[in-house]
Amino acid sequence: MKLVLSILVAAVGFSALAADKAKPVDVSKIPLPVPRKVDFEKEVYPMLKESCFSCHGPEKQKGKYRCDTKEGAFKDTDYGPTIVPGKSEQSSLIHMVCNLIDEMMMPPPSDKKGQSEPLTKEQIGILRAWIDQGAVWPVGPIQEFVKPVTFAADIQPVFATACGACHTGAEAKGGFDATQLGAVFKGGNAYGKVVTPGDLKKSSLITIISGLDEDLPQPEKHKLTAKEIALVKKWIEQGAK
């Protein structure tokens, strides 16, 4: 009997501790939900991918949380449930991205540039609106991310416009013709191969089109938009067909 009692006390003590962490938070000043219908696949999922998956995705699950899957995203935490459909102001995920919970700002602040940018007001507004609109997360793979990206349909037009003036045919700068799949694979005179299908880290093209290759004469001429860079990454990730 004594044993049972102490187990009981321990259990109660523990849950009291857990509940204690879920302190009431002041949501009066957080960004408002955007006043429109939001699209989960086009707006919400890509945002989570950009800002959260590096720590809460297929590879890492910091705090035992992953939000790249429906099963993982809706988690009950010590700070309350992450996502309460219809009630963004009660969702601990919103409290975290708004820095309302001590030491639990998400993404966590960091000195490393570009890695942990806080969500913007607009992004928080989109997340809140999605939750308020029922937090609908479709079953199965997210269409936006299974759509195949091909050189002919998606990449060639981007390269032709952004690179074509200097990188077309026999006269191409550095011997790199950016307008044909075979030539892109072959690479340039100095750099050799710049694309390794399926491997972003080994594809120096990403550094080049991010405008970060300082060895090039005009790195800024090589810089594509964030959207275009994302497209090229997706193309390489999917095998660069």
Contact 231, 208 (CB under 8 A): no
Nearer to ligand HEC, 209 or 236 (CB): 209
Quickly list DSSP for 59-104: S-BGGG---SSHHHHS-EETTEES--TT-GGG-HHHHHHTT-STT-
Closer residue to ligand HEC, CB minimum distance, 223 or 238: 223
Nearer to ligand HEC, 125 or 187 (CB): 187
CB of 20 to ligand HEC, least distance (A): 14
User: Which residue sits closest to ligand HEC, CB atoms considered?
Assistant: 188
Please check whether residue 90 is in contact with residue 71, taking contact to mean a CB–CB distance below 8 angstroms.
no
Cβ of residue 119: shortest distance to ligand HEC, in angstroms?
6
Nearest approach in angstroms of CB 31 to ligand HEC is 14
Least Cβ distance, residue 139 to ligand HEC (angstroms) = 21
Rounded Cα distance between 38 and 130, Å, is 6
Contacts of 120 (CB under 8 A, 6+ apart): none
Identify any residues that bridge with 188 across adjacent strands, giving them in sequence order: 192
The distance of closest approach from Cβ of residue 126 to ligand HEC in the complex, given in angstroms and rounded to an integer, is: 12
- The two three-digit tokens of residue 188, written as one number: 């340039």
User: CA 22 from chain center: how many Å?
Assistant: 27
DSSP summary character for residue 222: G
Neighbours of 207 (CB within 10 A): 16
Contact 62, 106 (CB under 8 A): no
Nearest CB to ligand HEC, comparing residues 6 and 115: 115
The nearer residue to ligand HEC, 8 or 217, going by C-beta atoms, is 217
Nearer to ligand HEC, 9 or 136 (CB): 136
Residue (9 or 30) nearer to ligand HEC, CB: 30
Q: How far is the CB of 154 from ligand HEC (least distance, A)?
A: 14
Place of tokens 């939750």: 131
Which residues contact ligand HEC by CB under 6 A? 51-52, 54-56, 62-65, 67, 75, 77-78, 82, 93, 96-97, 106-108, 116, 119, 159, 162-163, 165-167, 173-174, 176, 178, 187-191, 194, 208-209, 216-218, 221-222, 224
Nearest to 87 by CA among 131, 126, 121: 131
Minimum CB separation of residue 41 from ligand HEC in Å reads 17
